[in-house]
Amino acid sequence: MAMLRKETHFEIHHLNEPKLLKVITLDEFIEQGLAVCAGSAEFCDLLLWLPNEERLRSPHLLSLPVGGFLIPEPLIGDFDSARLHLHTPKDSDVVQPGDVIAITPGNPLVRVLYRRGSDSNLLFMTDRCNSLCLMCSQPPKDIDDRWHIEENLRLIDLMDRVEENLGISGGEPTLYRDGLLEILAKCKAVLPQKSIHVLSNGRLFQDPSWIAALSAIGHPQLSWGIPLYADNAEDHDHVVQAPGAFSETLQGLYNLARANQIIEIRVVLNRLTTPRLPELAHYVFRNLPFVRHVALMGIESTGLARKNYEELWIDPLDYQEPLSQAVYFLFNRGVPVSIYNLPLCLIPAHLSRFARQSISDWKNLFIDTCQQCAAVKHCSGFFKSHTDRWQSRGVQRLSTEAFSAYARSAQ
Amino acid sequence: MWGFAVTLIATDAKHYRLLPFRFMRMNTGHDRDILLTSDTGEYMHINDAQLRALSYFNVRASTPFYKDLLARHFIYEPGRHDPFPEMAAQYRSRKDFLFQGPALHLFVVTLRCNHTCQYCQVSRAPLGGSGHDLSEADAQAAVDRLFESNAPALTVEFQGGEPLLAFQRVRQIVEWIVERNVVEQRDIQFVITTTLHHLTEEILDFAEQNRIQFSTSLDGPAPLHNANRPTPSRDSYERTVKGIQWVRERLGHDAVSALTTLTSRSLEQPEAIIDEYVSQSFSTISLRPLSPYGFATKSAHRLDYPIERYLAFYKKALAYLLDINQQGVYLSESYASLLLKNILTPFSSGYVDLRSPAGAGTAALVYNYDGYVYPSDEARMLLEMGEDGLRLGTVQQPLSELLASPVMNALLASGVAEALPGCSDCALVPYCGADPIEHYARQADPIGHRVFSSFCKKNMGLLKHLFGLLCDGDDNVQRVLLSWLNRRSYNDVQFPGYGG
Amino acid sequence: MTWPVTLKLDSAAYPLSVVQRAAYSLADTVAIQVGIETNQISLTAYPAEAKLTLSPQQAHSLILQHLNDFALRAHINRETAGLREVLARAALAGCGVSQ
């Protein structure tokens, strides 16, 4: 099972300016026209999916009033037109009808900003961040990349109008406060059927002026994923490499609660966070009883995590006990809890009911050992950044009997 | 950081400062025998050496013990994290009930009754008379009082005597409330406290329409129940059980709940009482001791018992309950469940008889058949002892006046446990409450002397016992207790998880 | 050791408020007579009616333990003076409980 990347190369002709384009089939164009987009769109925003065969059969299609054409294979024959067109993708699976792509003149790179049918689309806000977590999978850049806001506002218009999950993340999304609020307002107006989940360290919410702004959004399905790595300032601040972060995050959490926001606490499981994981669960329950969900996440071994290996790496087999204690502490008290990003062979059977298949389709992969495993369809697999150094000694294929033990304990 | 000026002891060699906490020696003989509780209700078990180190600033920074003390709000680090906001959040959550008016409203519609229960706390009036019934005018005024409380969820409980003997009044009150609630839009629950001996189809039809629930007395198996609760036809048990079945048939299994009252005789048979509740398919049992009111006091020499006997009974009963739960029979004890909620969560249990400030008047109001308003059921029972000193006023007075009455002020002055002698230093105070009316009844003083207080002995005994089980109980015992906490099945609570 | 059990306490280490609380908490175990002298407090203890089997040694160590515990509580209260009230005030602001 290969993971699907979010970008590939095409040969691009007659592109004069950067564009965001919605890929649609001829049938869609005929049946729905611009209604295939959730928001306001024009014909020039559409990129018609046009295999060679269709074009050669019906050359008049080239005069359709679309923004351009996408040939999802090497070009056959001549393209008799000075209109924008793309052909010969390096990986032909990457771009599909319904996707929204971004292209720039002089660059063969085609980025998929929205993938139809994927439940892990996200609006990327910025590469900047005000923390520097030891395990940061996306090291921050100190640049002005406000242009993401405009791109996202445009992107919202071009998405499908369907019920699905949409994430907002970065870097730290709250660094562009007005842009974020504008995007959330637009999501409510244009994509009210989508569940929005924003990943943020919550630190800037310590400023109470956010409360009114957040309450005013009134989004029907908005939730916030905020990391908390310890029940005390010393340990948390060390993990995020920012003195005062614990206090700011807690203040931020209370302000989010005052603004009636739905809050999820996220914890990345590593050598620094697992020793006091049960104590952290206790702290969350006593001090943040309004939390709707706790997500306990296997570590992604990319970015800054690599250079902090000694501090961070712990074999998941070695934290099964605190993990179990924390999970059942929360579950027994009615707090929904999930385990993400850990292969099923590394989770004891009695915890498998909490495991979710969670690695985004564009990030996950399975290794050789997985080929004969009975659990592979239910397993989140590994991050594509996975290496031997970060591999548990416990990775193994599960037999059918072993896997049915998991299924039974999920009752 | 704190928003006020505090004189701190000036040695800056200290890397931490103390937050207010209390401690208690549990006398279990264990090493970590001292219970430490913070104002938030968080707790730890520690030993003498740790208590001394903590109090005299000798706990080494960055150790697990140090981090536990920080996280549970026994200490803080000046200039580092300010724990005040989350402490205030926990404290507020525990005292959440202060943010609304009385939520429990008891309507005593009549004193007429066909039973002559030995421990009855109200005078029984003959079945035929009506001089002890709540008048229509007073009932209407009581409904006005009810809605003057701003509580979003209200429980309306009909009491007596036997309320079904005055069913027409009950019907009227329910109808007035339902009509008025179209505008008020509160979440209202109706309960009738009854022997179930006077049920009719008409009553059950009405109950079905208005989703009324029933609460009855079931003291144990037939011989015990009938001995405690004599009727002229000597068949209280049989008729009660028939009533339970009838209600369940018409309104569903959970439409009726049952309470025991424990007499001296009851204390000899914990297992039999529990077995009776199992065979009647109840999922909750309430094992509360006799209160010192009404007829119970007059017959005290026959019925009453030292609270120590009750505690011994309770521990046996609880052990038996823990056993049968482990075998798959779900039966929770209601007082233990609410104490567990107080200990294990930052939420208030909502129980009016175990709160600080005391629930009398603030949480519950009683509209008595005589047109007077009382702050609790016990207060009106004191009436039967010739004590009318606990009236808040008449039902015609507005609620604001009733709650500002001298009686109410006297109750509040002696109703804040955190300020009472004995309680203010007690480590269990976050989980306990004040009961000025019981102290007034037993000791003739609403404050009372804590060391001689049955209320204190009961609560302290039960809380200490539960702390012991939570600390030392095996995994399966913990699983049962946790299953009671959130009303989950025992099997669902596969592991106890972190014990805190 | 015989009854009555007597103790002489330095009133700086064991102020009257500490002695009062200790005596109160032991009211069902021993009856304590408190004598106030310069810089000293004297305690004379007799077994309570319900605890006539209590030995003087047991009483002595019990009284001392309670005295020490209440002295520790007094220390904790001094170290945390005012914090409890501020916490309650902040937590309960807005519930109509004024000042």
ipTM summary value? 0.95
Does residue B281 come out as left (phi exceeding 0), alpha (psi in the -120 to 50 range) or beta? Answer: left
Structural contact between residues A295 and A225, judged by C-beta atoms closer than 8 angstroms: yes
In degrees, rounded to 5, the angle at the alpha carbon of residue A56 between the alpha carbons of residues A51 and A57 is 100
Single out the residue of B359, B408, B362, B371 nearest to residue B108, CA to CA.
B371
Q: Which helix (H) or strand (E) holds B213?
A: strand B212-217
**pLDDT of the residue at B3:** 43
**pLDDT of the residue at B4:** 43
Q: How large is the average pLDDT for residues A24-28? A: 96
Identify which of A279, A327, A330 has the shortest CB distance to residue B68. Answer: A279
Question: Which residue in B has a C-alpha nearest to residue A276's C-alpha?
Answer: B64
Mean pLDDT of chain A: 93
Is the Cβ pair B18, C80 closer than 8 Å?
yes
pLDDT under 50 in chain B at which residues? Answer: 1-10
**pLDDT of the residue at A3:** 65
Structural contact between residues A73 and A51, judged by C-beta atoms closer than 8 angstroms: yes
User: Is the minimum CB–CB distance between A283 and chain B shorter than 8 Å?
Assistant: yes
Supply C34's token pair: 């408190």
**pLDDT of the residue at A377:** 79
User: Is the minimum CB–CB distance between B230 and chain A shorter than 8 Å?
Assistant: no
In degrees, rounded to 5, the angle at the alpha carbon of residue C4 between the alpha carbons of residues C2 and C5 is 80
**Is residue C92 pLDDT above 90, yes or no?**
no
**pLDDT of the residue at B122:** 66
Q: How large is the average pLDDT for residues C2-26? A: 96
Is the Cβ pair B482, A332 closer than 8 Å?
yes
Single out the residue of A12, A7, A8 nearest to residue A47, CA to CA.
A12
- How close C25 comes to chain B (CA, Å)? 6
Phi, psi of B216 (to 5 degrees): -130, 170
Q: Is the pTM of this model over 0.90?
A: yes
Number of other residues whose CB lies within 10 A of the CB of residue A252: 24
Band of pLDDT at residue A1, cut at 50, 70 and 90: very low
Touching B (3+ Cβ pairs <8 A), the chains are A, C
Single out the residue of B227, B238, B232 nearest to residue B264, CA to CA.
B227
Does residue B495 come out as left (phi exceeding 0), alpha (psi in the -120 to 50 range) or beta? Answer: beta
> Alpha carbon B363 to chain centroid distance?
11
The residue among B81, B483, B485 with the most chain A CBs within 10 A of its CB, best to mutate, is B81
Is the Cβ pair B17, C79 closer than 8 Å?
yes
**pLDDT of the residue at A398:** 87
**pLDDT of the residue at B9:** 47
CA distances from B233 to B123, B194, B195, B228 (A): 20, 17, 14, 14
**pLDDT of the residue at C99:** 45
Which residues in chain B have their CB less than 8 angstroms from residue C79's CB? 9, 17-18, 55
**pLDDT of the residue at A365:** 76
Residue listed under structure tokens 């294979």: A73
Identify which of A247, A281, A330 has the shortest CB distance to residue B81. Answer: A247
- How close C89 comes to chain B (CA, Å)? 9
**Is residue A378 pLDDT above 70, yes or no?**
yes
Question: Which residue in C has a C-alpha nearest to residue B20's C-alpha?
Answer: C80
Supply A242's token pair: 């920012």
Strand order across the B34-38 sheet: B21-25, B34-38, B43-46
Single out the residue of C77, C44, C50 nearest to residue C63, CA to CA.
C44
Which residues in chain A have their CB less than 8 angstroms from residue B89's CB? 254, 287
CA–CA dist A155, B169 (Å, integer)? 65
Q: How large is the average pLDDT for residues A356-362? A: 71
Touching A (3+ Cβ pairs <8 A), the chains are B
Helices (H), A191-319: 209-217, 233-240, 245-258, 277-287, 309-312
Which residues in chain B have their CB less than 8 angstroms from residue C87's CB? 20, 39, 84, 87-88, 91
**Is residue C11 pLDDT above 50, yes or no?**
yes
CA–CA dist A264, A195 (Å, integer)? 14
Band of pLDDT at residue C18, cut at 50, 70 and 90: very high
**pLDDT of the residue at B76:** 97
**pLDDT of the residue at B10:** 46
A80: DSSP letter: -
- How close C5 comes to chain B (CA, Å)? 21
**pLDDT of the residue at B121:** 65
Is the Cβ pair C86, B3 closer than 8 Å?
yes
Is the Cβ pair B500, A282 closer than 8 Å?
yes
Which residues in chain C have their CB less than 8 angstroms from residue B84's CB? 87, 90
**pLDDT of the residue at B295:** 55
Band of pLDDT at residue A63, cut at 50, 70 and 90: very high
Which residues in chain B have their CB less than 8 angstroms from residue C22's CB? none
Band of pLDDT at residue C68, cut at 50, 70 and 90: very high
Single out the residue of B60, B20, B173 nearest to residue B109, CA to CA.
B173
Q: Which residues pair with B125 in a beta bridge?
A: B112
The residue among C62, C80, C85, C99 with the most chain B CBs within 10 A of its CB, best to mutate, is C80
Structural contact between residues B6 and C81, judged by C-beta atoms closer than 8 angstroms: yes
Q: What is the pLDDT of residues A293-342, one digit of tens each?
A: 999 999 988 888 889 999 999 999 999 999 999 999 999 999 999 999 99
Cβ within 8 Å of C, B 412-451 = 421-422, 425, 449-451
**pLDDT of the residue at B273:** 98
Residues B147-175: b if buried by 16+ CB within 10 A, e if exposed: bebebeebbbbbbbbbbbbbbebbebbbe
